[in-house]
Structure formats: C-alpha cells, structure tokens
Structure 1
Amino acid sequence: MNDLDALRLMVKHFPGGLEVVALRIDKPAETLRKELGGAQGFKLGLSTAMMISELCIEARSEHCRAFVNVVTASSGGFVRLPVVEMREPACINKTVSDTVREMSDVTAATLLANADNNISDNDLKATLKEIGDAREALQKLERALITRNTQDKPGAVQTQSTQQWVREFDRAAA
C-alpha cells in the first residue's frame, strides 16, 4: 500500500466519504477525487494529506491511521490502529479467520518475493502491504477479544485487569 492507497482507503471509510472530507478541507470534491486518483496534472500535497489524516483520526474512522502507518513503515515502524467503535460486536471466529488469512498472505508474498533469492523493490512493496494488512487483522482480533471479555463479565463489570488492558490498548491507539 502506498500513500495514495492509504488516503483513498481512509476517505472511503470516513463518515460521508469523499464529499464530506472535501467539504471539511475546503476543496472541491472533484479536485480531491482527481488528486487521490493520481490524475495527470493533479498532485495531493503533504498538507492536504495531513488534513485528511487528522480528520480521520479525530473521527476515529476505520483505517484512520493507514496513512501514518504507510509513512512510518518506510522507517521500519508502525502505529497501533485505533479503537474503532463497532456497530455490532466483532465475531471472534471471523477475526481469527481474517488473521489467519492475512498471515497466510504474508507467508505467500514472502516466499514468492524470496523465490529467486533477491528482494526487488516490487517484492518488498508487495510483502510490506501484506504485513500491514496482517497487523490490522491482529489489532482487530485483539480489540474483539478485549470487548468479548468485557461482555462476558456478569453485568458487564470489568475486572481491574480488563480495565488495565483496555486503557493500555486505548492509550496505544491514541
């Protein structure tokens, strides 16, 4: 995933989508659409990217840290994904399945990239994209497990250890 891919994903999942983001950053929707699409003659500047990132993080929309993760991935780091308010509780089985699928994609991409004992720029790009997707799946699983643990307490009472996990998770996501 590159920076434009990340920003397109973030805008897509922002409440109201591209039109609302364009309005909030005071830019015509068609111009923003062309900038995000990489149309000839249109460039998305860093200040616009940062405004989009700040809007999405403030709204805590799904994939709101995708741009930040792409930027930090180039330096070997990553940013913990935010806690996203789920419309309905996450299915533990689905999040485990998604995690296994993403890890399988990491394995396949890595083996394919290293098949000729040479990691090209394209190989690296493809493999890092799969690793980012796997991180996201793992973090969703982590949050689903914490949420389920809380829900399974009598009267939804959180124990001190559960409260600590949630605080640590939320602090890391902030």
Structure 2
Amino acid sequence: MNLLDAARRTVRHYPGGLEAMALRLQKQPGTLDRELRGAPGYKLGATDAAEIAQLAMEQGGEHALAYPNALADALGALLVVLPGNGPRAGASALDVAALMRECAGVVESVAGADADGRITGRELAEIERHWADTVAAGQQMLRNLQHRHAEQLQRHRDAVEAAR
C-alpha cells in the first residue's frame, strides 16, 4: 500500500473523519485533503503523518497503524508495536483464529493471482492491502494480549501486597 493511501485510510477511519483530523492538526480540511491526495503543490509532511497515526492510536483506530506499516514495508522492515496504555478490543483465542484465517487469505490471494504466472497492478494492490490489514490486525492482537498480561501481573502484585 502506498504511503498516501495508508494515511488516507487512517484519516478516513478516524472518528469524525477528515474534518476532525484536520481540526486536531490545526489545518483546514481542504488543505489536509489536498495533502492526502498528493495534489500539485501539496505534501503531507513526516511530522503530520506521524501525528495522524498517533492521534488514531489514541482513539483506538482500526487503521491507526496503516501509515507506519506502509513506511516500514517501503523500507523492507517490520513494525513492532510495543505495549501501550490500554487495549482497544479483546484478544481471545477466537481473535487469534480469525487472524490465522486472514493470513491464510493472503496466501490464497497470492496463489490465485499468480496462477497465470503474472501479477497485475490491481492484483498486487489488493494483496498489499490484504497484507497490511493482516499485519495491523496481528499488531492489535499483540497489543491487547500484552495489556491483558500487564493487568494480570498488576492484579497479582496487588493481591500479594494485600496479603501482607
């Protein structure tokens, strides 16, 4: 997924959309829209892109990691999300199973696209989008599990302290 597509996805899924994000960034909505589209004479700066991701993370946005993941992918790297300040959704065994189905879906997409020995631009874009969604879902799941683990440790520490 290209960097601007990823940033647009994050903004589009932010509560209140483009208008709310523009307000948070202290920009006019039209300016932010032109930056996200890459209109002539407009560029989305690295600081603004990072702030978009950070604001979306604070809101628990499903696509908050779209831009950082796209940037990492462009550099041949993988983004590893560290434990945050709290979960955004549950992370159960069913969530892990759903993630594995997503991974299988990516592999199936690749196999289907490559069946004729050619990968079209449309097929590649779809596979990139599917992979970005899968990586983001995995990172969300890990963040949630890390938070639950930290909560369990704290409850244990509190119980030990109360027993003293």
TM-score (normalizing by structure 1)? 0.66
Write out per-residue CA displacement over residues 12-50 of structure 1, whole angstroms, 9 at most, x where no aligned residue. 3446542243234443213433553x49xx34844x242
Partner of 1:18: 18
* 1:52 lines up with 2:66 in the alignment: no
Shift of 1:115: 0.5
* Aligned residues of 1:91 and 1:144 also touching (Cα < 8 A): yes
Unmatched runs of 5 consecutive residues or more in structure 1: 159-174
* Aligned residues of 2:69 and 2:136 also touching (Cα < 8 A): no
Q: 1:14 to 1:24 in 2, by over 3 A?
A: same
Partner of 1:72: 72
Query: For the aligned residues, what is the CA RMSD?
Result: 3.2
Partner of 2:129: 129
Unmatched runs of 5 consecutive residues or more in structure 2: 159-164
Describe the SS at the equivalent of 2:116: coil
Describe the SS at the equivalent of 1:115: helix
Moved more, 137-146 or 9-18: 9-18
Shift of 1:156: 4.2
Q: 1:4 to 1:111 in 2, by over 3 A?
A: same
Partner of 1:7: 7
* 1:107 lines up with 2:142 in the alignment: no
Counterpart residue identity of residue 117, structure 2: N
Give distance in 1, aligned partners of 2:19 and 2:119. 40
* Aligned residues of 1:7 and 1:67 also touching (Cα < 8 A): yes
Describe the SS at the equivalent of 1:76: coil
Q: 1:17 to 1:121 in 2, by over 3 A?
A: closer
Give distance in 1, aligned partners of 2:32 and 2:2. 17
TM-score (normalizing by structure 2)? 0.69
* Aligned residues of 2:53 and 2:67 also touching (Cα < 8 A): no
- The alignment covers a number of residue pairs equal to 153
Give distance in 1, aligned partners of 2:96 and 2:115. 28
